[in-house]
Each structure stands twice: as C-alpha cells, then as structure tokens.
Chain A
Amino acid sequence: MSTSKSSKQNPRLKARHRTGSVWQTIFMISTLVGIVALLALLYNIGDSAFGYVVVEYQVLPESLERDGVALEDQTVDQLLLTFQENVSKGLYRRFEAEGAFENPTEVDLENLIVEWVLEARVVEGWGFWESLRNRAEIQAQAAKEFPNGQLEMRSWLNPNFLVSRQSETAMKAGVRTAILGSLWTIFIAITFAFPIGVGAAIYLEEYATDTFINRIIQTNINNLAGVPSIIYGMLGLAIFVRALEKITSGAAFGVLEDPTTANGRTVLSAGLTLGLLVLPLIIINSQEAIRAVPQSLRQASYGLGATKWQTVWYHVLPNAISGVLTGTILSISRAIGETAPLVVVGASTFIREDPSGPFSKFTTLPIQIYQWTARPQDVFRNIAAAAILVLLILLLSLNATAIFLRNRYARRL
C-alpha cells in the first residue's frame, strides 16, 4: 500500500523538482546576461581607451634633448628654454603677454611644446584588442602608409590626461576641469539635499499624522523620484539660473567685479539642480530606513520619559543611519552620471578654467564625454573612452568612501 502510494507520488515530486531547476536555470541565464553586458561595456571602453596610434611630428621629440636630458624628463626651466628656442619670437611674446609663463607646471609647458613645436598629430589609430592580435600587420601598414609617423602604444588614460585642461587637440585634452566640476556639483548637491531629505523623512515618518494632505505629499514624493531628469533641468533653469540669478551668480554677495555680467549658469545652480533631483530618492530611502527601526525601541524610549525628539535623536536616527547613508550613496551615483539637466542648466561644453568656487562656470565629466563623442574626429572617441574610465573610477571611489563611512557608523551601535 505504502509503496504503491510513494511510487504514485514520486512522478509528481520529480515534476516539482524539475520546475525548480528550470527556474534556477532561467535565473542563472539572467545573471549571465548581466555579466555579459558588463563585460561588453568594459571591452568596448578598453578597446577605445588603449591601442596603437601613428603620431606624426613636425619636429621629432628626440631632437629636443637639452643637456642630454630627454624632453619628458626636463625641468620647468629647461622646458621653458626649449620652448623659447623653437618657436618664433612673436609667438613667445604672445604667450608671455597672456601670462602663460607665470608659475607654469611641467605639464603646461610640455603641452605647449607638443602643440607649437612638435605639432604632434594622431593620423591613425587601432583598437586595443586589434593592437594585441595583429601587431605585425599594424607595424607593416604604418610603415607603408605613414613613413614620417611614429607608431606607439598609447594609453589615452594617462597622468597628463587627468591633470590637463580641455583642448582643441585630442592629444592634449584632459579632464581636470571636468573632474573638479563634477566634484563641486556633487558636493553642493549632497550638502543641499542630505539634511533636507533626512529632515523631511523624519518629519513624514515620526511627526506627520495620517491625513489626506500628508498622503498626497507622500504620493507626490514617490512620483517625483521617477520624473525624467531633463524636467529637473528645466526647473533648475527657471528657478536657479533665471529667478535666483542674483544669488546663484554671486552678484548678491558682491563676488562679481561687474554685477551687470551676472550669469546664473554656475556650479551652484548645477549643484542645487542635482540636489533637487536626488532629494526624493534620499527622502524615500531615509523613510524606509526609519520605518525599519523596531517600534519596541521607540516604546522603550518613551517608557523612560523621553520626549519625541530625544527618541528620534538617540534611538531612531542612530539605528536608521546606515540605511540613510545607503540611500545617499545611491543618490550620489545617480547624480554624478546625470547629463541632461546640466546641459539645460548651462554646463559649458568648452571651458579651460578650473571651477574656483560655487560661482564659477563649470563642466562635468558626463558633459565632457558627451561633447567628445559628438565630435567628428575619431581620436575624440578615444579620449571619451578614457574619460568614461575616469568617471567610473570616480564613482567607485566616492561610493567606496560612503560605504566605508556607513560601516563605521553601523559598527559603533
């Protein structure tokens, strides 16, 4: 009896297990698709960011040795002399008049020499993987088609790229201004949105009663988190750039020499716009974290004669802080990659001055990448790939810092 019953049940049990393993396979495939997509992205970026290039020089770098020191090892003074000896007096005086030789760095001078003396140009380039595979063919082709050119393995992501400013020439262009612009806007966005967001979350969770109006507010905050970012750009343009121009341009604080030139397209406007963009995210995530604090803890606190504020400050917030910080980390990731709202708010597409404060003009990494990929010349695609790597590294290091801070706070409890 029992054996016949179990043999009757067995096929169904097998079918149940089979269903399980089918789903397991499907989930595994989903994961694999994700991994493949990520690898394809890295492959693509890596392919563009590194590889063989043929560089043609008007003057060969080897001919610019000074006292037996190669060009790239020369000191500032030596570089200055090299530059002076190899350009016309008129050009030298022009740069002198522009103040290019007041405290120049080695990088600045090397860039000047590359542009005006060597007149280096990338005339042909190959992707990284092709460069690895078809080395001999590339060498043969380069020797045949560009007898005056030099074939070199180039990493578009290099120290010079990080510290150089924007330039018309891809070989000299860098992301220094864009990195600083990104850091400034993120800093302002978080300084603005974090306290307001956490404050709003505390109010909504701990103080607000369940009324019709409060429910509408809650629903709207949830919806705001899904509003397309370009709309925040329009909002930022209307409010921060136009309506509050006196404040966002710094005219109200007297930082402008001529108030009539006030222009609201500043780091401050961009930071505040991104702040608005991440505010609903921070509020929602903080609310989740505050809601996750057990009710028994609040009761224990009230039972000892604590006021509402003491309960929130000493028990709810310390227990919610790691969740709040996780939400903030996600917001940083969102904000640092935003391009559209900043285009609307007025990020400069070509700017050489570093942002020096909240009232500076600015550009950010995504804007810079967007602008480079839109250029017709192939080489700009290479530096765009290098800039993407910089953006990814910046993002990862900001997140790592935030996670480190979160773990430190969480452990203290």
Chain B
Amino acid sequence: MSTLTTHKQDVSMVARNLNIYYGDFQAVKDVNLEIKKNKITAIIGPSGCGKSTVLRSFNRMNELVPTARTEGEIIFEGIDIYAPEIDAVEVRSRIGMVFQKPNPFPKSIYENVAWGAKINGFKGDMNELVENSLRRAALWDEVKDKLDQSGLSLSGGQQQRLCIARAIAVKPDLILMDEPASALDPVATLKIEDLMRELSKNYTIIIVTHNMQQAGRASDYTAFFNMNPDRAGYLVEYDETAKLFTNPKEKLTEEYITGRFG
C-alpha cells in the first residue's frame, strides 16, 4: 500500500521495473507495462522470450517454481501484489487464469465450476452461479443437460470454455490466458476469441499468444517481447494493437510482425 502512486481509473494493472529470475538466470528484464481496464491485452513474441513468465508473475503463479524470484512492483487495482502483507492465494482468487492445455478437474462439469467458488467461501445460490458462469463462457447450452458428467468427457474446445467458466465463477477482476487456443482447432479457436471479446465487457483480459493473427484479431493492446542474446526477455514495444500492427515504432517489431524472424 505504501508504494502506490496515483491510481488511474482506466488502468487495471501496472508492472514497474519487473525483473524475474530462475536461480541465476534472468528470464525477464526491466518490464514496464500498464494494462488498461476492460480491454484485451495481447503479449506476443518469439519462443522463450518470457511471455508466459511475465503472465504468471501477474498472479504470483511463478512462485510455485521453487527457484523463481521476482523483483520490481506489480500494482493491481492500486495494490502492490508482491507486498509482504499480501497473500498469494488472495491474489489468485482476484486474478483468474486459463492455461495452455485445457485442464478441467476430473470431476463433474458442475463441480468444476462450483469448486473454486466454494473454497473461496461463496455463500449464494450455487446453481445460479454455475449457470451464469457457464452462460458467460458460452457453454451452457451445450452442457445444461449433462452437468453431472465428467468435465473430461467434453471436447477440447468445450473443456477450455469450461476452464474459462471455472475461472469466472470465482469472480475475478482480471483473467490471464496463457495461449488458451494453442491446443484447439480453428473453429474452437474462433469461439474462444469471440468469447474473449464478450468477456472484456466485464473483465480485463491479458492473453499470451504466439499467433500474431490472433493478437491482431482479438486484442485492443499488444505488447511485443523479444529476448537479448543472453536470453533475458524484455519489452520491445507496447501500443494499441491497430497502431502496433500497422505502424510499429521499432524496426524489430516490424520485422517480427511481417514474419521476418521469430
């Protein structure tokens, strides 16, 4: 709480001088980023440039790697989430996450959605919450008659939407998506992208993708990362997606989005 500056209304998250290390290896170097509220921000860049590492530092998931160390500040809704008095568990219930591979729990569809809310002390009408979450994830019509079936019985795209419903049910303010469509076919991918657009009315979304067309199609802002020769990732350019794709300031960005490297 001590380190905040004036908190801008349209900003959800600010990363300031973010450095991330795995043991002695510096994975991310000096990242400064402002994530706009209720917008979709895409993080793109070549493999190994630290996109996922940055994303995972936004809800302190990278702490699960024993050697990981984070320096700098990440200020979310005016609060430094790395401040000593902040509990990582609390952070993760406010900042949801959807992973690269759909990973529903081996439980019923209903329980998949309800579990996160339950452990976070949800006291309201659980049936209503499950239905709303599934509706928002555009999955309700497909699963309403088989809520007691295993989440693993769904197709890959449905599973990923179930994971999104599961994340929404905890009522986060921000949803992190780590290449959510990379394991899906084009049709399922488009569904996820439509869903993201719909969700951005209520949530702030940050998505990591290695698919530039996806970033161009589905995001409002884009951050382009690259890595140094010593393999430390850094932010090259960050701008509105339309500007970054049509009129990049950096030569490196232009080369990357035109497919000349990466």
A residues lining the B interface (CB < 8 Å): 209-210, 294, 296-307, 310, 314-315, 319, 413
Q: What's the minimum C-beta distance from A1 to chain B, rounded to whole angstroms?
A: 42
Chain B interface residue number, banded? 20 to 34
A303 touches B92 (CB 8 A): yes
B231 to chain A minimum Cβ distance, whole angstroms, is 23
CB atoms of A305 and B107 under 8 A apart: no
In the complex, which of the residues B64, B66, B101, B104 contacts A302, with contact meaning CB atoms closer than 8 Å? B64
Please, which residue of chain A has its CB at the minimum distance from the CB of B111?
A: A314
Asked whether, in the complex, the Cβ of A303 is within 8 Å of the Cβ of B106, the reply is no
B120 touching A305, Cβ below 8 Å: yes
Contacts of B107 in A (CB 8 A): 413
B66 near A303 (CB under 8 angstroms)?
no
Is A297's CB under 8 angstroms from B61's CB? no
What is the 8 Å Cβ interface bit string for chain B, positions 110-131, against chain A (1 contact, 0 not)? 0000011001100000000000
Contacting pair A310 B119 (CB below 8 A): yes
Interface pairs A-B: 8 shortest CB-CB: A305-B93, A304-B116, A303-B97, A296-B103, A305-B92, A300-B103, A413-B106, A310-B119
Which residues of B are in contact with A by a Cβ distance under 8 Å?
59, 61, 64, 66, 89-90, 92-94, 96-97, 99, 101, 103-107, 115-116, 119-120, 163, 166-167, 170
B89, B97, B105, B163: the one within 8 Å of A307 (CB): B89
The smallest C-beta distance from A306 to any residue of chain B, in angstroms, reads 5
Question: A306, B89: Cβ atoms under 8 Å?
Answer: yes
What are the residues of chain A within 8 A of B90 when measuring CB–CB? 305
Bound-state CA distance A305–B172 (Å) is 10
Contacts of B120 in A (CB 8 A): 304-305
C-alpha spacing A79/B189, complex, angstroms: 85
Q: How distant is the Cα of A304 from the Cα of B119 in the complex, in angstroms?
A: 9
B99–A296 contact, CB under 8 A? yes
Can you list 21 residue pairs at the A/B interface with Cβ under 8 Å?
Answer: A209-B66, A210-B66, A294-B103, A299-B99, A299-B103, A300-B105, A300-B163, A300-B166, A301-B105, A302-B64, A303-B96, A303-B97, A303-B167, A304-B119, A304-B120, A304-B166, A305-B89, A305-B90, A315-B105, A413-B106, A413-B107
Q: Are B64 and A305 in contact (CB under 8 A)?
A: no
Asked if B105 and A305 make an inter-chain contact with CB atoms under 8 angstroms apart, the answer reads no
**How far does the alpha carbon of A73 sit from the alpha carbon of B67 in the complex, in Å?**
78
| Nearest CB of chain A from residue B165's CB, rounded to whole Å | 12
B92: chain A residues at CB < 8 Å are: 302-305
Q: What is the bound-complex CA distance between A301 and B107, given in angstroms?
A: 13
A294 to B90, CA, bound (A): 24
Q: Using Cβ atoms and an 8 Å threshold, which residues of chain B touch A307?
A: 89
- Other-chain residue from A297, A298, A299, A304 in contact with B93 (beta carbon distance below 8 A): A304
Question: How far apart are the CA atoms of A343 and B116 in the complex, in Å?
Answer: 53
List the A residue with the shortest CB-CB distance to B163: A300
Could you tell me if A305 and B119 are in contact, using CB atoms closer than 8 angstroms?
Answer: yes
> Which residues of B have CB within 8 Å of A319?
106
What chain A residues lie within 8 Å of B96 (beta carbons)?
303-304
Given A300-B99, A303-B167, A304-B167, 7 new contacts (CB under 8 A): A296-B101, A300-B104, A304-B92, A310-B119, A314-B119, A315-B105, A319-B106
Residues of B within 8 A of A297 (CB): 103, 105-106
**In whole angstroms, how far apart are the Cα atoms of A304 and B59 in the complex?**
10
| B104 partner residues in chain A, CB cutoff 8 A | 300
In the complex formed, the residue of B with least CB distance to A299 is B99
Cβ of B59: which chain A residues have Cβ within 8 Å of it?
303
Say yes or no: A299-B166 contact (C-beta < 8 A), given A210-B66, A319-B106. no
Chain A residues positioned under 8 Å from B94 (CB to CB):
305
State the CA gap A315–B116 with chains docked (Å): 12
Bound complex: CA A300 to CA B107 (Å)? 13
Which of A209, A294, A304, A413 is B115 in contact with, Cβ under 8 Å?
A304
Q: How far is the CB of B87 from chain A (nearest CB, A)?
A: 9
How distant is the Cα of A255 from the Cα of B9 in the complex, in angstroms?
74
> Are A305 and B99 in touch, CB under 8 angstroms?
no
- Distance, CA A304 to CA B163, complexed state (A): 10
Chain A residues positioned under 8 Å from B61 (CB to CB):
299, 302-303
Considering only CB atoms, which chain A residue lies closest to B92 in the complex? A305
A314 touches B93 (CB 8 A): no
Shortest CB-to-CB span from B174 to chain A, Å, is 12
